Amino acid sequence: MLPAHQDPQRRELSAQDPVKLIIQIPCYNEAATLGLGLDALPRQVPGFERVEWLIIDDGSTDQTLQVAQRHGVDHLVRHRHNLSLARAFSSGLSACLHQGADVIVNTDADNQYDARDIPALTAPVLAGNAELVIGSRPIEQIAHFSPLKQRLGSLIVRLASGTQVDDATSGFRALSRSAAQRLIVFNNYTYTLETIVQAGHRQMAIATVPVRVNPDLRPSRLLRSIPSYVWRSIVTIVRIFVIYRPFRFFASIGAILFGLGVLIGLRFLWFYLVGSGAGHVQSLILASVLLGMGFQTILVAFLADLLAANRRLLEDVRFRLHDQPPPSSRHR
């Protein structure tokens, strides 16, 4: 578990305050498995006065919505057409915040995760030790899992975020209200990697807890192939770096280009001084191009840093708007 960071915006849960937990499930054509997952969800969790369920129907064309209604789901969010798992996750967070959730648990509609571990998942949030808790699956013991996928995703996330998350691709996670208010998913593929990288860059307190899994009911819809997964993960991480570390990203590229230009320019200068510079004019041209590109990229780094500062101000405004008192119906 990572140490908790002090944040003036962090909302501590108080034992005297009514505490609401909302369990959200993003769904897309999950009629065959959703009922099993809902049957396993708890209506009482230690530390919470209310436990509610929220379904995000991401444009399903089967009976997903009807299954959710028959099982007494408290809240339904429906997309008119399929957007993506990441968009469904974000819609769920917004709806949970609107409904006054103090803690949000996200789980899958295919009943992959054992709902009996929800109390363990929420305990670090209730204790004030974490704002984001990731459920770590026993990857080595699961036959249908791809160890390469799990290890690669977790390695990339550790390098990009500076966190120590064992199972970065796990969708079984708990978020405090303040964490849900500050996380913004830009990627349209999956939310798992991006939210952890964001949380690391925002210095949120992150914890992992071991969780159990149920037998596999269907293959993953995200993992079409290992190369596709690797490519999309890399694109996601690069986008996060551009958004949250723009100066470092562009300045590093600019420094490399500028440095290569200096080295090639010194090489031309050496040949020029020894009297054979006429045969190495190409080096002079290449050095000039690289120096110009490097200088311009470094200028872009400063401009990107200014834009990032403006984005942080807008995110702070967004956080304060979300932190307004929830509707009066919250604790009815």
Nearest to 56 by CA among 99, 115, 116: 99
Q: Does the structure show a pLDDT above 80 at 187?
A: no
**Residue 43, pLDDT score:** 94
Indicate the pLDDT class of residue 18, thresholds 50, 70 and 90: low
| Tens digit of each residue's pLDDT (9 = 90 or more) over 23-48 | 999 999 999 899 999 999 999 999 99
Residue 5 has pLDDT above 50, yes or no: no
Q: Tell me the CA distances in angstroms from 297 to 226, 241, 319, one per residue in order.
A: 33, 16, 32
- Cβ atoms 105, 24 nearer than 8 A: yes
Q: How confident is the model at residue 170 (pLDDT cuts 50, 70, 90)?
A: confident
Residue 139 is predicted with a pLDDT of 67
Confidence category of residue 232, pLDDT binned at 50, 70, 90:
confident
Q: Indicate the DSSP class of residue 168.
A: T
**Residues 67-82, mean pLDDT to the nearest whole number:** 93
Residue 332 is predicted with a pLDDT of 42
Which residue did the predictor score with more confidence, 189 or 183?
Answer: 183
Q: For residue 158, which amino acid is it?
A: R
pLDDT tens digits for range 204-219: 999 999 999 887 755 5
Better-predicted residue by pLDDT, 282 or 8: 282
More confident residue, 122 or 313: 122
Residue 202's pLDDT band (boundaries 50, 70, 90)? confident
Of the listed ranges 75-84, 253-262, 271-280, the least confidently predicted one is 271-280
Whether 142 shows a pLDDT value over 80: the answer reads no
Burial group, residue 8, by CB count within 10 angstroms (0-12, 13-18, 19+): exposed
Phi, psi (rounded to 5 degrees) for 88: -65, -40
Q: How far apart are CA 79 and CA 92, in angstroms?
A: 11
Minimal CA–CA distance to 97: which of 332, 331, 330, 317? 330
Least trusted range by pLDDT, from 67-76, 91-100, 186-195: 186-195
pLDDT of residue 327: 53
Reported pTM: 0.75
B/e letters for 63-93, b = 16+ CB within 10 Å, e = fewer, are bbbebbeeeebebebebeeebbbbbbbbbbb
Give strand ranges (E) for 113-215.
Answer: 132-136, 173-176, 206-210
Query: 167 or 204, which is more confident?
Result: 204
